[in-house]
Structure 1
Amino acid sequence: MTNSADVAVVRMNAYLNLRLIERCRELENLIDESSTAELQLVFPALIDSIFGLTNKIGWGLHNISLTKNPHEYEAFLNFLGPTGPIFSLCYKLLPDCYLKYDFPVSYLPTKIRTMLEEGIIPPFYSDKLKDDQSSRLPQVLSMNPYEYYIFHFAYHLSNPGFSFSQQKMFDELGNNLRPTCQFIFATLLPRDNSTVLPLIGPYEHHSNKCLSQVWRSETVVQVFGLLLEYTEEEKLISPLDSRLPPSLPRRHSIHSGEHIRLVRAFIKTLHEFANSSRESYYHQFKEKFIFLRKAIHHWPLDSSFRLILEAWLSFIQPWRYVRKFCSEGNLEGDERGKINDPSRWMSFVANNLLAYTAIFEQLLPRFIRTDLVAPKNALMLFRVTKVFSQPHLAEMLIETESCMDDANVSRGGKITATQWSAIVKQQILELEGPNYKYNPMFSESTISKIIWFLSTIKQAHLTATSIVEALEKRRLEKKIFLTIWEFFNGEESSTDDIGLTDRKKVPGFLLNSQQQIIEIFQIRLEDTPRVAIVADQEYHDSILSTSFSHQSQFDSSVDTHRPGVFVRIQEERHQFRYIEYMGDPEVQPVRSNECAFLVRTLYKICEIINSKYEREITNSYWRNDMIGRMAKRILQPPTIVRCLPKRTSKGFTLAQESELSPRLSLRILASYNFLVILILSILVFRFFEYGTYMYIFCLICWTFYTLIETACNF
């Protein structure tokens, strides 16, 4: 006989086949109507269905965005949020202290797995570990429903196996699961010294309310702090990886943009939580320092580095996340984002000195190698110098570094100096090891590097200024023609997709950065190198030579030295992206300056002609007389088409190449440029009262003249 728990599971499985909105509504009703005994079986199956820990599919929450799926997004946000049905389900099951669910150890970061295998058990895991009877190694974590849900949620956010469209998530800033995560942070890590939301559920909870709130907040901090950390898989190999079943998913290192945004959101929330709490959470900030240190070391030299940079700048500015409420409950805006009381933040600066000085020293060679003429790189430099030029910050760093000098400490005799000295030395020992040699940020060696870096900034400023002036001059010279061209084709752009408006900001960024660096390190004018600094003429010429014009936009598509053709896809009014197309040129995507209907119609006509007269067309193309030269002018040359390897269930397929024979292509007739010229010429003939036959006759004569002239000069 089927019991009620089995019926609840059957109902849940039926609801999982519904659309997301109906699914969330029906599951919410199921949770409200079912008893605790029934929900004990529903809970693990529902969590696995949502996050797809077994099949790595789940509900596809990463693909639901606020802009494209607003109703579905709101439905799952309410369903997963701290005031929604899932948390209500967790709180329903919590009173049963013997109810535990197993979370595989293999899902944890490699660093934690290695520690557990070596017998080093962090306090958070001490009462949760269950060993395998045969290998005597930790196999699963036994946890209550609340912890089970938080672990699954954090793992789903931080694991790349669930991010099916990383580039899409990279572009859509915050339209997926990250806002839900921030909602959980804001609720369970309160920012205004308020209490955590009370337990949700139709039962009485007799345990200590304060302890319950602290336990839930501590769980969120611990779980997200561990699963969002930076691990280097190639350097950390645990025996657990080889002894566990191969079908079990593994937790991999994450360096994606979405992961960095989650880390930044966690840092900001942790700042707000710590600023409203009396307890210290410096140990969590130390873990994030290690994350940023490793991420900066491995991150490539491109504009995406700004994600890491913004996370670091959020880390070193806790004063930006202070919520000071008046008696009316309003936020005092003038207190936010400023160091109004240096003594309040001195402790944080001392406890996290390496986050300021060591990472700054790590960034300096990176900025020296970076192309500072590029607008995004110039903006990153400006962001860094602007933060360090804040009032009182440089003084706090200088004071903290001076405390490290034992001679100064002994002469001064201040208790605070001795305290900061011990804190900084202990911090260096814990984070960098006993062999690390600390190089003060304001030492003579660092300042000498800064002085030479100022020369690099000065040259970049001169180069950026000369490029802007040259582009402005070119724009004025072609103003009339450019206006007509932009009317039909959009704004002129360059190969690096950098517009003139963005380039105009670069000199200002670099000039302000230069002045702020001088103020931070108190560099005198006579200390700067007396060398003649001029603009980088080679870089200047390369930027100007790569600017696209209407003559060269389509020349790159017939470059025989490239394996494919580059097709420009217009995304917005003044933004383009280029894709390398390696298939048949005739079936490449329709461009923004082409008529889609004509492209498809002319392709079908050419396909019929090429199929019917393939032999005649090929023979004509390879002839060495005038007919062959005219054919080479009209027909498309032989083209090699490449088929890239594809992933299948049996592995990757082999790359294949095939050659297309000479063929007729009328695609140029589908361009708006040709249509505009055609219409204008017809209007001119109409204006001079010439008939249609005269127009056709002139068009045929012009065509034959062009072909004969080409054949004679071939």
Structure 2
Amino acid sequence: MLEDGIVPPFYSDKLKDEHNSRMPSALSMNPFEYYIFHFAYHLTNPWLQLQLLENVWINWETVYVQLAHLYLYHFLPRDNSPVLPIIGPYVKKSPPRKIVHSPETKRVQTPRLLRSMILSPSTAHPQGGPQQQCLPQVWRSETIVQVFLDFWLEYTEEEKITSQPLTSTLSSLPRRHSIHSGEHIRLVRAFIKTLHEFANSAIGDRSAMDELKRIILPSVQGKIYTFLRKAIHHWPLDSSFRLILEAWLSFIQPWRYVPELSYSPQGRPEDEDKGKIHDPQRWMSFVANNLLAYTSIFQQLLPRFMRTDLVAPKNALMLFRVTKVFSQPYLPQMLAEAETYMDDNITRSKISSNQWSAVARQQILELEGPSYQYLPMFSESTVSQIVWFLSIIKQAHLTATSIVEALEKRNTEKKFIRTIWEFFNGEEHSNDDIGLAERKRVPGFLATSQQQIIEIFQIKVEDIPQVAIVADQEYHDSILSDSFCQSQCEGACVDGSRPGVFVPIQEERQHCRYIEYMGDPELLPVRSNECEILVRWFYRVCEVINSKYNLQITTFYNREDFVGRLTKKIIQPPTTVRQLPKRVNGGFTGGSEKIIPPRLSLRIFASYNFMTAFFNLFYSLTDHRLWHSWIFIYCQLFMDFLYYHWGYLRALDHEIECQ
């Protein structure tokens, strides 16, 4: 910003110029300003913004987040308490500098929050009037707001970064991203909420702190709007969009952050009626000054919701949150009234109409420029889009309802058999990683959103085209189809060289992640569907047999006749075991591979699946006679199997000796 020649008044007395070029080379700051600069820069430091695989829904309780909240609450008090300790700002008088603006760069500027006549001690009050005490009271609060605003809400787009010529110093910096971290957006929302609470706590006592509360929102609202609009434009189409959406909803609802309103630990107002608009005239000035934040961003969100999967619970909830806010009492009327003031064809008799018209036009000129064509939110073109959007919501509602009914029906049918199956095999994983309880909320969200949109735009039911809207059958079938993990596991089981598993991942967008075990398959940890005692016992038995008859098993496995084919059905094939490099002192060990020869494996008999299938078969064939012990029969079958293998191996041994 300063390199572009844009010097806000807040920095005008802090810049140091080079003697030759007269360009700013350094900032002169006191210790508090120096610390706050580095604290705010930590959140946007490109070295700390390396995009890793981050789950934005994890609410990190870091020291930085806790400190940021403490600084906001202390230096922007909502209870009209003074900011302690009261100390001077160490102001160094410097001659006024000429502010040069770059004609190529368009940027929302934030002037000094308080007028210089209030901040600067006046020599006309030698007796120490109240204005001499203003600077020690508010200079830290102004610094916090200005620095956080310049660092946290300065939106830098990637294409503008890449188009600029890089110096040797800048070329070594990592690339900044247009998508901010979840921690960044959460702190921006906390900053916006604190500004609302701070501004709404003004009591009109004509003090410097009260003056700061009165003018703080008009000074920063333009930059907040620009940040939100650009962040919404670049944010991907996924559920993490709710972070920036909630920040926007917090900005356009200042009536939710009044001093008399208290919040529960869950973040909800304890008295819902106090968080609504009761006096439209009190908030009309804010709505008119931030008309673009309501109407322009709403129209920006409309095509986004049209492309979003509204059957997904998180997306349906986001739509419901937006329609719930805009359907609040008095808000649609206030927006429509503010827009009518901008229509020159409508004659008005109210004196205030000229005031709101000038305010809205000036805001559009400052934020979007003279070439911006404002499209009213309640215009015919927008309403036609809304009518088409209602049909999309209706189809999503039918699809969500059909999915819920199908899931309930599937859970009801064969409930007993499914319970037994899940007891031995674990819970079934499907393509749908969303629970039935969440699915049941979607039809209610969509139905309520549809009704609220009709009320906001006052659309008549007969104006909605009565087209044949049916549920999306393809989407319905994809949710209820066999699991992705199961189909991939079936494909992996065919390939014996990939003894891996697919582990469901709930916190990421993909459903499964393939994890491959590269060691000895017989040394795999005991699975949940296996009996630990039998696994260990079978392993010891097979280890003795394989070590004694290793040569005979390999010889008969490699035969091409009937005996060789029979051996391949019984004996496990050769397996390649890989040993990965391990970290040791001074480096890594080398990787290695080892081929395990054909071997006998009885581990399959230790699985609960085999025992359950055998018990069901035996129980159905024994005419339900309870005196037959399935454990005894299972052990007898296993002994017969061992006897068969023992005889088979003895025959192999005898044949080799004869040769």
Q: Same fold (TM over 0.5)?
A: yes
Find out whether 1:568 has 2:503 as its counterpart: yes
Contact 1:593 1:672 in 2 (8 A): no
Matches within 5 A, 1:461-500: 461-488=397-424, 491-500=427-436
Q: Between Structure 1 and Structure 2, how many residues are aligned?
A: 565
Equivalent residue, structure 2, for 1:380: 318
Equivalent residue, structure 2, for 1:422: 358
Equivalent residue, structure 2, for 1:696: 638
Contact 1:231 1:253 in 2 (8 A): yes
Change over 3 Å in CA distance of 1:688–1:314 after alignment to 2: closer
Q: Which letter does structure 2 place at the counterpart of 1:385?
A: T
Contact 2:518 2:578 in 1 (8 A): yes
Find out whether 1:145 has 2:31 as its counterpart: yes
Distance 2:39 2:57 in 1: 22
User: Deviations for 1:97-120, whole angstroms, at most 9, x for unmatched residues?
Assistant: xxxxxxxxxxxxxxx2xxx22322
Find out whether 1:121 has 2:7 as its counterpart: yes
Change over 3 Å in CA distance of 1:688–1:400 after alignment to 2: closer
Q: Which letter does structure 1 place at the counterpart of 2:200?
A: N
Q: Which letter does structure 2 place at the counterpart of 1:181?
A: A
Find out whether 1:456 has 2:392 as its counterpart: yes
Q: Which letter does structure 1 place at the counterpart of 2:38?
A: H
Distance 2:444 2:560 in 1: 61
Find out whether 1:213 has 2:213 as its counterpart: no
Aligned with residue 172 of structure 1, among 58, 62, 73: 58
1:528 is displaced (CA, Å) by 0.5
The TM-score, its normalising length taken from structure 1, stands at 0.67
Q: Secondary structure at the match of 1:173?
A: coil
Change over 3 Å in CA distance of 1:404–1:592 after alignment to 2: farther
1:336 is displaced (CA, Å) by 3.3
1:474 is displaced (CA, Å) by 1.0
Q: Which letter does structure 2 place at the counterpart of 1:196?
A: V
Find out whether 1:189 has 2:127 as its counterpart: no
Q: Secondary structure at the match of 2:215?
A: coil
Aligned with residue 225 of structure 1, among 142, 149, 152: 149
Contact 1:621 1:632 in 2 (8 A): no
User: Deviations for 1:266-321, whole angstroms, at most 9, x for unmatched residues?
Assistant: 11111111222222422322212111111111111111111111111111111111
Q: Which letter does structure 1 place at the counterpart of 2:564?
A: I
Distance 2:226 2:385 in 1: 25
User: Deviations for 1:121-145, whole angstroms, at most 9, x for unmatched residues?
Assistant: 1222223334567876544433211
The TM-score, its normalising length taken from structure 2, stands at 0.72
Q: Secondary structure at the match of 2:242?
A: helix
Contact 1:639 1:659 in 2 (8 A): yes
User: Deviations for 1:340-364, whole angstroms, at most 9, x for unmatched residues?
Assistant: 1111111111111111111111111
1:546 is displaced (CA, Å) by 3.8
Equivalent residue, structure 1, for 2:187: 262
Contact 1:594 1:670 in 2 (8 A): no
Change over 3 Å in CA distance of 1:179–1:496 after alignment to 2: farther
Q: Secondary structure at the match of 1:156?
A: helix
Change over 3 Å in CA distance of 1:286–1:634 after alignment to 2: farther
Contact 1:468 1:503 in 2 (8 A): yes
Contact 1:367 1:381 in 2 (8 A): yes
Name which structure has the greater RCO, CA cutoff 8 Å, separation 6+. 2
Change over 3 Å in CA distance of 1:633–1:168 after alignment to 2: farther
1:179 is displaced (CA, Å) by 2.7
RMSD: 4.8
Find out whether 1:348 has 2:286 as its counterpart: yes
Distance 1:145 1:554 in 2: 61
Change over 3 Å in CA distance of 1:457–1:195 after alignment to 2: same
Q: Secondary structure at the match of 1:217?
A: helix
Contact 2:425 2:609 in 1 (8 A): no
Distance 1:508 1:476 in 2: 22
Q: Which letter does structure 2 place at the counterpart of 1:269?
A: T
Distance 2:645 2:331 in 1: 73
Higher mean Cα deviation, 316-325 or 621-630? 621-630
Change over 3 Å in CA distance of 1:300–1:248 after alignment to 2: closer
Matches within 5 A, 1:273-672: 273-276=198-201, 277-324=213-260, 333=271, 336-408=274-346, 411-488=347-424, 491-547=427-483, 554-555=489-490, 557-558=492-493, 567-568=502-503, 578-581=512-515, 584=518, 593=528, 620=557, 627-628=564-565, 631=568, 635=572, 669=604
1:374 is displaced (CA, Å) by 0.9
1:261 is displaced (CA, Å) by 1.1
1:622 is displaced (CA, Å) by 10
Contact 1:389 1:517 in 2 (8 A): yes
Higher mean Cα deviation, 174-183 or 418-427? 174-183
Percent identity between the aligned chains? Answer: 54
1:243 is displaced (CA, Å) by 4.7
1:333 is displaced (CA, Å) by 4.0
User: Deviations for 1:230-268, whole angstroms, at most 9, x for unmatched residues?
Assistant: 211331469795153766778765522121111111111
Q: Secondary structure at the match of 1:555?
A: helix
- Structure 2 unmatched ranges of 5 or more: 89-127, 202-212, 263-268, 581-590, 620-625, 647-659
Higher mean Cα deviation, 242-251 or 137-146? 242-251
Higher mean Cα deviation, 451-460 or 208-217? 208-217
Distance 2:468 2:365 in 1: 44
Q: Secondary structure at the match of 2:158?
A: coil
Matches within 5 A, 1:9-24: none
Change over 3 Å in CA distance of 1:659–1:586 after alignment to 2: closer
Q: Which letter does structure 2 place at the counterpart of 1:687?
A: S
Q: Which letter does structure 2 place at the counterpart of 1:394?
A: P
Change over 3 Å in CA distance of 1:314–1:676 after alignment to 2: farther
Distance 1:252 1:219 in 2: 26
Q: Which letter does structure 1 place at the counterpart of 2:246?
A: E
Q: Which letter does structure 2 place at the counterpart of 1:429?
A: L
Distance 1:471 1:392 in 2: 41
Equivalent residue, structure 1, for 2:651: none
Q: Secondary structure at the match of 1:495?
A: coil
Distance 2:531 2:635 in 1: 29
- Structure 1 unmatched ranges of 5 or more: 1-111, 644-655, 705-714
Change over 3 Å in CA distance of 1:599–1:537 after alignment to 2: farther
Distance 1:445 1:517 in 2: 15
Q: Secondary structure at the match of 1:193?
A: coil
Change over 3 Å in CA distance of 1:158–1:464 after alignment to 2: same
Q: Secondary structure at the match of 2:404?
A: helix
Contact 2:179 2:234 in 1 (8 A): no
Change over 3 Å in CA distance of 1:614–1:390 after alignment to 2: farther
Change over 3 Å in CA distance of 1:133–1:234 after alignment to 2: farther
Contact 1:642 1:658 in 2 (8 A): yes
Q: Which letter does structure 1 place at the counterpart of 2:395?
A: Q
Change over 3 Å in CA distance of 1:569–1:371 after alignment to 2: closer
User: Deviations for 1:123-177, whole angstroms, at most 9, x for unmatched residues?
Assistant: 2222333456787654443321111111222222333633689656634314213
